[in-house]
């Protein structure tokens, strides 16, 4: 017997031959099923899945289930390619070359989804769905997004899970609870939403059998107790009703309905009923040629038996959301025993049994359509199915508290699903599709109708964006009161756009100031990148940006442009180290040089300190001590070059009767408008702050202003600046 690794080696070696054989019949796809099986067989026939089932046998069974569900040969063929994927080098390229891009895409999306579900099951471990909604939420969301890329993935996953449950049942192996729960709480509701009742009922019964074996056996025992008697009675009813309908000109087929244990248990639990009270234990199904015969048969049934009118439902006039149509009625016979009867056309019956699979898919639907509605195009059919998937998601959300309540799903014009936060708008949608589309968004159509951009979207709507060729977002979008954006991610993209525009404008202003300085100094030959590097910046743009924001003094550039003066004399150094024992008097400017009496000081123009700012002194050559704010960028640079010239200073007390004031610069950025300068100046006047200088510059609708005001206390300035920020159009107001 060959080892597993040897078998894999043989299989891998055979891949080129398999591809060549598959390519021989391209582009014809009529024999795709046989070719796909022949392609996969040597690769997977000797392997087993995690469940213990032979991989080829599983693929055969999945293909058979798909066929019974109405899936095409192409879909059945894909069931083999999915399992061959892991054995191929560059599998997508190989499958695309041998079978076409459609097959490769289907296999890729199915493999991706299987991986997501396996990770979710591993994370969930043995916790029930209600106890770990977060894990299942992520699982189902990713399922939805995978389905939106290729709807055939839905069918493949349903068929594969059903076969897994069948295998466990046939081999009587124990089942992982998480696998059975996922089947019962995710896959079966999905099959229900798509109207694939055949899969729904079997999957529910099998999963319930594994999760609650004792209850399953008990109900199965109840059904078996009087099976012969019940079946004889139902057969008698069936024969009599079919004959009576035919006698009245209605060519009906009447069948007994199979009983599904899980549906019986759900009804017993939901309505607190005993087994004998469950109405549909005895049930018939009537299949007639057309809709008028449905109502004719209903009239005859109600005439023959005693109807329970409160149990009547007309799903033909009001179809279920998944497209299901039928008449449901409950009647009682002469002995008072309840009988549930369903009446429908053959077309309705096909849809009820197989749902979307009965006339599957957006590539194969043709004119048959979906959910009883004729599909005019492949797109219409795909939209119809996607909306059922979205409705399934809401079904699941309703059964688990907190699940999906913060998310919605909408569709692109190309019928792809886009996940958005609750309350999202067309602008959020545009940014989710592409940042550029968001910036250029100017209008939106929702389900074909133009809507305002702050319209809140709902699940399942189709959204189309009307975009300009170029341009940017509106500042109104950042106004939370106007409701244009619900997504934090979209809001961040809008802010980033405006920050980038502001940076460009700030850099332009800084470049102008630097170039003007170089012209004054006669240094226009200097390369700007080299100048920035010498000043410690990575690029010239970084230098321009801080200069434009008034965070870097042009005097620092001036100092760099002029040759360095000779090092300080011994006397100057001695001044900085002089004994601090001697008390000092308050000099001009209200600044004390600690330990030095009557030393000349001057307030630095680069940062313009004022009490109670933290300050430091720097010994200059011939101009005494220059007083800087401790956080001044220029001071940090000169202090780093000549630390021995830094001297400790502090604010002194002004003489009695003197009110010391200090000039400080205030930088204001605002949207330019008429009267702006007047309005800001009035704020300073009302707050009794003397304005001694104003500089103003306007660039592309933005105004940059620097006010020099005299203050006695810098702490009070903060309160005044908060008032300036409230002036219409002002974006920022800060001390330089």
Tokens of 425: 């708008």
Residue whose entry in the numeric block shows the structure tokens 């004119």? 367
Of 110-119, 537-546, 614-623, which gets the smallest average pLDDT? 110-119
The topology under which CATH files domain 662-735 is Alpha-Beta Plaits (3.30.70)
* pLDDT band at residue 474 under the 50/70/90 scheme: very high
Region 9-22: what's the mean pLDDT?
A: 41
What was the pLDDT predicted at 55?
A: 94
Of 1.10.3720.10, 3.40.1620.10, 1.10.3210.10, 3.30.450.20, the CATH number of 4-192 is 1.10.3210.10
Question: If you classify domain 407-486 with CATH, what class do you get?
Answer: alpha beta
More confident residue, 659 or 378: 659
Residue 103 has pLDDT above 80, yes or no: yes
* pLDDT band at residue 19 under the 50/70/90 scheme: very low
Query: What's the pLDDT tens digit per position in 208-235?
Result: 999 999 988 888 887 776 667 777 888 8
Residue whose entry in the numeric block shows the structure tokens 């079997």? 202
What was the pLDDT predicted at 6?
A: 38
Long-range contacts at 583-590 (CB < 8 A, ≥ 24 apart): 586/652, 586/653, 586/654, 586/655, 587/652, 589/627, 589/660, 590/651, 590/652, 590/653, 590/654, 590/660
Cα dist. 607→524, 585, 592, 628 in Å?
Answer: 27, 25, 18, 6
Give kind and range of the element (H or E) at residue 685: helix 676-686
What was the pLDDT predicted at 287?
A: 94
Average pLDDT over the chain reads 78
Region 328-357: what's the mean pLDDT?
A: 82
What was the pLDDT predicted at 198?
A: 79
The domain ranges of the chain are 4-192, 221-359, 407-486, 497-561, 570-651, 662-735
Using CB atoms within 10 A of its CB, is residue 272 exposed (0-12), middle (13-18) or buried (19+)?
exposed
More confident residue, 150 or 731: 731
Torsion angles phi and psi, residue 590, rounded to 5: 70, 25
Region 464-468: what's the mean pLDDT?
A: 93
Q: Report whether 381 contacts 361 (CB < 8 A).
A: yes
Nearest alpha carbon to residue 464 among 477, 473, 451: 451
Residue 142 has pLDDT above 60, yes or no: no
Of 170-184, 187-201, 468-482, 646-660, which gets the smallest average pLDDT? 646-660
- What SS3 string covers 131-182? HHHHHHHHHHHHHHHHHHHCCHHHHHHHHHHHHHHHHHHHHCCCCCHHHHHH
Residue 2 has pLDDT above 60, yes or no: no
What was the pLDDT predicted at 570?
A: 42
Q: Please report the DSSP string for 190-250 in residue order.
A: HHHHTT-HHHHHHHHHHHHHHH-HHHHHHHHHHHHHTHHHHHHHHHHHHHHHHHHHHHTT-
- Cα–Cα distance, 278 to 237 (Å, whole number): 19
Region 521-539: what's the mean pLDDT?
A: 84
Tokens of 534: 């010498």
Q: Is 457 helix (H, G, I), strand (E, B) or coil?
A: coil
The topology under which CATH files domain 221-359 is Beta Polymerase; domain 2 (3.30.460)
Q: Give the Cα-Cα-Cα angle 144, 44, 75 (nearest 5 degrees).
A: 40
Q: Report whether 477 contacts 431 (CB < 8 A).
A: no
Using CB atoms within 10 A of its CB, is residue 563 exposed (0-12), middle (13-18) or buried (19+)?
exposed
Tokens of 711: 């203050």
Residue 687 has pLDDT above 80, yes or no: yes
* pLDDT band at residue 672 under the 50/70/90 scheme: confident
Query: What's the pLDDT tens digit per position in 399-445?
Result: 444 444 567 778 888 767 788 888 999 999 999 999 999 999 999 99
Of 35-39, 131-135, 155-159, 371-375, which gets the smallest average pLDDT? 371-375
Region 610-614: what's the mean pLDDT?
A: 86
Region 288-294: what's the mean pLDDT?
A: 94
* pLDDT band at residue 380 under the 50/70/90 scheme: low
Share of the chain above pLDDT 70, in %: 75
């Amino acid at each position: 017997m060959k080892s597993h690794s040897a078998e894999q080696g043989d299989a891998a070696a055979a891949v080129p031959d398999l591809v060549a054989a598959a390519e021989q019949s391209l582009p014809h796809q009529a024999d795709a099923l046989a070719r796909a099986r022949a392609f996969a067989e040597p690769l997977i026939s000797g392997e087993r899945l995690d469940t213990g089932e032979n991989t080829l046998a599983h693929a055969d069974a999945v293909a058979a289930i798909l066929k019974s569900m109405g899936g095409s040969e192409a879909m059945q063929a894909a069931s083999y390619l999915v399992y061959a994927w892991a054995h191929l080098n560059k599998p997508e390229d190989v499958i695309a070359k041998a079978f076409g891009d459609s097959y490769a895409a289907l296999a890729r999306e199915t493999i991706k989804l299987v991986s997501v579900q396996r990770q979710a099951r591993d994370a969930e471990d043995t916790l029930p769905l209600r106890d770990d909604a977060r894990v299942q939420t992520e699982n189902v969301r990713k399922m939805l997004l995978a389905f939106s890329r290729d709807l055939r993935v839905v069918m493949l996953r349903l068929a594969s899970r059903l076969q897994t449950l069948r295998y466990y049942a046939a081999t009587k192996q124990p089942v992982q609870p998480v696998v059975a729960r996922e089947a019962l709480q995710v896959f079966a509701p999905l099959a229900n939403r798509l109207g694939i009742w055949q899969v729904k009922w079997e999957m529910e019964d099998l999963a319930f059998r594994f999760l609650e074996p004792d209850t399953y056996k008990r109900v199965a025992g109840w059904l078996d107790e009087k099976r012969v008697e019940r079946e004889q009675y139902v057969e008698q009813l069936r024969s009599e009703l079919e004959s009576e309908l035919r006698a009245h000109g209605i060519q009906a087929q009447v069948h007994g309905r199979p009983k599904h244990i899980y549906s019986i248990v759900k009804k017993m639990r939901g309505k607190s009923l005993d087994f004998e009270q469950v109405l549909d234990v005895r049930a018939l199904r009537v299949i007639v040629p057309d809709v008028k015969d449905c109502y004719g048969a209903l009239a005859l049934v109600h005439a023959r038996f005693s109807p329970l009118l409160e149990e009547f439902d007309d799903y033909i006039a009001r179809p279920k959301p998944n497209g299901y149509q039928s008449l449901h009625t409950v009647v009682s016979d002469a002995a008072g025993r309840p009988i549930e009867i369903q009446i429908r056309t053959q077309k309705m019956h096909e849809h009820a049994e197989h749902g979307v699979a009965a006339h599957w898919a957006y590539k194969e639907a043709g004119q048959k359509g979906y959910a009883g509605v004729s599909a005019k195009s492949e797109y219409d059919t795909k939209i119809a199915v996607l909306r059922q998937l979205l409705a399934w998601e809401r079904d699941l959300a309703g059964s688990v508290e907190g699940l999906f309540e913060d998310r919605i799903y909408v569709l692109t014009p190309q019928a792809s699903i886009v996940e958005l936060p609750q309350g999202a708008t067309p602008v959020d949608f545009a940014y989710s599709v592409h940042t550029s589309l968001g910036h250029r968004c100017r209008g939106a159509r929702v389900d074909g109708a133009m809507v305002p951009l702050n319209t809140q979207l709902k699940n399942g709507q189709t959204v189309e964006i009307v975009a300009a060729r170029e341009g940017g977002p509106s500042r109104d979008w950042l106004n939370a009161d106007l409701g244009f954006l619900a997504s934090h991610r979209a809001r961040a993209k809008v802010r980033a756009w405006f920050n980038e525009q502001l940076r460009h404008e700030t850099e332009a202003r800084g470049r102008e100031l630097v170039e003007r300085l170089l012209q004054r100094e006669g240094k226009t030959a200097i390369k700007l990148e080299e100048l920035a590097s010498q000043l410690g910046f990575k690029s010239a743009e970084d230098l321009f940006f801080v200069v434009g924001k008034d965070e870097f003094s042009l005097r620092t550039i001036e100092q760099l442009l002029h040759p360095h003066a000779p090092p300080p004399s011994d006397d100057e150094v001695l001044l900085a180290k002089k004994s601090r024992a001697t008390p000092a008097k308050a000099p001009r400017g209200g600044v004390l040089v600690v330990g030095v009496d009557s030393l000349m000081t001057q307030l630095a123009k680069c940062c313009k300190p004022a009490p109670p700012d933290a300050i430091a002194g720097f010994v200059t050559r011939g101009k005494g001590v220059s007083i800087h704010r401790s956080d001044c960028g220029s001071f940090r640079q000169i202090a780093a070059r000549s630390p021995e010239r830094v001297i400790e200073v502090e604010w002194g007390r002004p003489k009695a009767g003197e009110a010391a004031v200090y000039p400080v610069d205030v930088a204001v950025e605002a949207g330019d408008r008429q009267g702006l300068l007047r309005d800001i100046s009035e704020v300073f006047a009302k707050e009794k702050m003397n304005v001694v200088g104003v500089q103003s510059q306007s660039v592309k609708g933005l105004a940059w202003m620097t006010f020099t005001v005299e203050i006695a206390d810098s702490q009070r300035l903060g309160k005044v600046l908060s008032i300036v920020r409230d002036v219409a159009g002002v974006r920022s107001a800060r001390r330089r």
